[in-house]
Structure 1
C-alpha cells in the first residue's frame, strides 16, 4: 500500500503466515513493514520524508520476506 500524507510517501506491507490448525500451539507470524510512518519517537507532523525511497523499500521488503522459511510440519 502506498499513500501520500503531507508530501511524504508512505509505504506499508504486511505478510501474515498462520498454521493449518488454529489454536495456541499453532505457528503464527506477522511481518509488518512501514516506511514514512510515525512511531513512538517521531510524530506525524515531524516527518518530512521517508527514510527509504519507494524502490528501496520494496527491495528491502523483497529481501527480508524471501528469507522466511517454514519449519517442517509447521505450516
Structure 2
C-alpha cells in the first residue's frame, strides 16, 4: 500500500525542523526501524526511523528543506 510519510513531532515544543540528510535513495528498500533521514531542530540532530518495512518511492522534501511538523517528506510503498 502506498503512503506519504510526514515530519513527526519529535518533542513537545517542536514546531519545525530542517531536513539535513537522506540515508536512503529513491528505490531503496528499508525495514522497520532503519534510519530514513535526519532532521535538525534548535537543540539537536535526530535520525528518523522507518515506521514499517517498505520501499522509498519518491522524496518530497530535499535535504536542506525547512519543514513544519506534519509536512510531507516522502512517498513509500509499505510491505
- For Structure 1 versus Structure 2, the TM-score category normalised by the shorter chain is under 0.3
Q: Which has the higher contact order (CA 8 A, sep 6+)?
A: 2
TM-score by length of 2: 0.24
TM-score, normalising length from structure 1? 0.25
Q: Which structure features the higher share of strand residues?
A: 2
